Structure 1
Amino acid sequence: MLKNFLVTFLFTLLILIPIAIAIDIAEKVDNFLQHPNLGLSEIVNDYYINFTIYYTNTFMPLALFLAVILFTTKLSNNTEIIAINNAKVSFVRFLYPYFVGATLVTFLSLLMNHFVVPNSSKTRKKFEQEYLASNTQQQEFKFVNDFSLQLTDSTYIFIKSFNTDNNSGYDFTTEVYDGLQLKSKLVADYITFNPKDSVFSLTNWRLRKLYDKRDFISSGNKIDTLFNFTPKDLIYKSALSQEMPSPELINFIDVSQKRGVKNLNAYLVELHKRTSLPIASYILTLIAVCLAFRKRRGGTGVNLAIGVGLMFVYVFLLKISEVLGAVAGVNSLLYVWMPNMMFAIVASYLFYHARK
């Protein structure tokens, strides 16, 4: 049973992936033709290989769900489940091969979600920004406006505008506090980052140090200094979280929280989703078996219709939970796991009746 079940799962997955690739090619062929220097090997190696990795991981729970319905319906139509029941095999024991297969898929999906897909997404996202993104989307990642950041417990920076493409900005301010008391303030008209030596160059700078009885004020045309941040730390876009392996993403969230970044829920949603979606394989497997183990009039078609309908409901709830979980001030963990909890209740109800 396990062997045939996994074969059905791979077959279902291999059907879904070419469909996704064909649809994507139809949508983006005009974009490819707009770049005469873009070769076929670059499209395949930089984009579609990574596209396949991403959607293979995305379709795993769906393919598993459909595979369980197809395989179990086939067993039911061939009256093999009746023979298993007559042999006094319990429903729990009947589920063993399914959950062994679901465990294999879950571990593979966890590995891909936390490590493989983020690294693959870096290359895919870079290709999309260079060849497929509109000018508006490119500008969104290029400029950072009205940004503030807490570097340490006592040091804060403020930037009016920063261009992450050429690593330069204007209206830069850094303030150092001792508790609530301002100790120094450095202001510059322009700031430039040199990635070779990680040094910031400040142009038209003015420094004011505050003491108990007097202030010290100095200024100059240009000065090189070090700060505990890089231009990458200025970009807080939820799409960037998809490019970070989980250890890097956890470290990024931890550092950002210490720096006083107000809303990191979009990053927390991405982190929690990498675990919740693979774990959903167990819940969806149980629901699929409970729906398909009984022989129905209409056979595979009815079971598939019910299964696809439930998958649409699950994906719909998943998208809603992601949007709501990214809102500031809410518990992102609870929202991300909410579709799993709701479907776990449905699975428990179906299991209770199926076992009888």
Structure 2
Amino acid sequence: MVTFLFTLLVLIPIAIAIDIAEKIDNFLEHADLSFYQIVDEYYKNFIIYYTNTFMPLALFIAVILFTSKLSNNTEIIAINNAKVSFTRFLYPYFIGATLITILSLVMNHFVVPQSSSTRKKFEKEYINGNRQKHEFKYINDFSLQLTDSTYIFIRNYNTENNRGYDFSSELYDGIELKTKLVADNIKYNKKDSTFRLQNWRLRKIYDQRDSIFLGDKIDTVFNFTPRDLIYKSALSQEMPSDELYKFIKVSEKRGVKNLNAYLVEFYKRTSLPIASYILTIIAVALAFRKRRGGTGVNLAIGFGMMFFYVFLLKVSEVLGGVAGVNPLLYVWMPNFFFGCIAIYLYLNARK
């Protein structure tokens, strides 16, 4: 555990130094931005995010370093001669991995999302600037299913002034259209969570006749907010898991076509901490035997496997976010692949 903490204390300052070198110009552009604000709103949350991200890597390196030291001091030979099985030898490692896994699960599901919300707000204000603002500002040709029978459509919506154009709402009874409400303009009022429709027309369809009502302005309520119009994977990183799960379920009922980006983020919060067990077995199996070249060879092999794991993890996230695939399968694919390697190394090490 001490080696694990030491590894984190080595990795985090490196990440901070690289980030400062990259963003120093953005900080200097804002004269009103104080040193305390940078540390409190950005780098405090930056440390929380990357500490959680580096945990599996730090654990992997720590296990290799610690086990290699035992091996180089011939302590593992003494343990083997004492008839201690390899499975029993793994017990303390799994206790440490369990503690780190529990910590990582809590951080992934609850702490990091809230921290990311503050950090991304700072990035939007002082780093990304107009580029990210423009990305989330305009929503075009958006449709949403509010209930089993109610659908809405908006041609264009501006999230900055909460105003949209060419709005329509349709109510169905089965497959039969019963009412249709259209408006040239729609504006959201945050104060009372209502929508103001301008130049609206309401058509009610009956068996023998239709009724049409119209007016200049009307205030009404709908079962959605402007935030529901923004379906971006970046927003999922800012939601605690309970809120993200509810959001996914509500969106599924509303008929949102592709939620895989949100599902990938939700599943990843569990799969990455569980990988600690797999990486622990691999690290112990690689380092418990004394090698010519010592710790350096074990670290070289370990770093190679770790970078391949990160590469496979990123590929699986991208593929899992594509519509029409099973995101759960793709998110867990790196764990399945490295789990097979861990089983092979474990069985080989027992011999």
- Counterpart in the other structure of 1:295: 290
- Counterpart in the other structure of 1:328: 323
Alignment-mate amino acid for residue 206 of structure 1: R
Alignment-mate amino acid for residue 117 of structure 2: K
Deviation digits for residues 280-330 of structure 1, max 9, x if unmatched? Answer: 000000000000000011111111100000001100100110011111111
Rounded to whole Å, the distance in 2 between the matches of 1:185 and 1:41 is 54
Q: CA deviation at 1:148?
A: 0.3
Alignment-mate amino acid for residue 238 of structure 2: E
Among 215, 240, 263, the residue aligned to 1:245: 240
- Counterpart in the other structure of 1:37: 32
How many residues end up aligned between the 2 structures? 351
Rounded to whole Å, the distance in 2 between the matches of 1:8 and 1:175 is 61
Rounded to whole Å, the distance in 1 between the matches of 2:214 and 2:171 is 17
- Counterpart in the other structure of 1:306: 301
Alignment-mate amino acid for residue 226 of structure 1: V
Deviation digits for residues 250-285 of structure 1, max 9, x if unmatched? Answer: 000000000000000000000000000000000000
Q: Are 1:224 and 2:219 an aligned pair? A: yes
Among 10, 13, 18, the residue aligned to 1:15: 10
Q: CA deviation at 1:88?
A: 1.2
Identity %: 77
Rounded to whole Å, the distance in 2 between the matches of 1:345 and 1:45 is 43
- Counterpart in the other structure of 1:99: 94
- Counterpart in the other structure of 1:275: 270
Q: CA deviation at 1:218?
A: 1.5
Alignment-mate amino acid for residue 130 of structure 1: E
Among 251, 275, 283, the residue aligned to 1:256: 251
Deviation digits for residues 166-212 of structure 1, max 9, x if unmatched? Answer: 21111111111111111111111111111111110011111111111
SS in 1 for 2:160: coil
Unaligned residue ranges in structure 2 (runs of 5+):
none
Rounded to whole Å, the distance in 2 between the matches of 1:95 and 1:137 is 47
- Counterpart in the other structure of 1:3: none
Q: Are 1:204 and 2:195 an aligned pair? A: no
Rounded to whole Å, the distance in 2 between the matches of 1:166 and 1:32 is 27
Rounded to whole Å, the distance in 1 between the matches of 2:32 and 2:129 is 18
SS in 2 for 1:243: coil
Q: CA deviation at 1:134?
A: 4.2
Q: Are 1:119 and 2:114 an aligned pair? A: yes
Among 341, 351, 355, the residue aligned to 2:346: 351
Deviation digits for residues 96-120 of structure 1, max 9, x if unmatched? Answer: 1100000000000000000000011
SS in 1 for 2:141: strand
Rounded to whole Å, the distance in 1 between the matches of 2:83 and 2:217 is 85
Rounded to whole Å, the distance in 2 between the matches of 1:100 and 1:270 is 27
Among 57, 60, 66, the residue aligned to 2:55: 60
Alignment-mate amino acid for residue 114 of structure 2: N
Alignment-mate amino acid for residue 135 of structure 1: N
Rounded to whole Å, the distance in 2 between the matches of 1:76 and 1:125 is 45
Give the structure-1-normalised TM-score. 0.98
Unaligned residue ranges in structure 1 (runs of 5+):
1-5
Q: Are 1:76 and 2:64 an aligned pair? A: no
- Counterpart in the other structure of 1:177: 172
Give the structure-2-normalised TM-score. 0.99
RMSD over aligned Cα atoms: 0.7
Q: CA deviation at 1:87?
A: 1.2
SS in 2 for 1:244: coil
Rounded to whole Å, the distance in 2 between the matches of 1:94 and 1:153 is 57
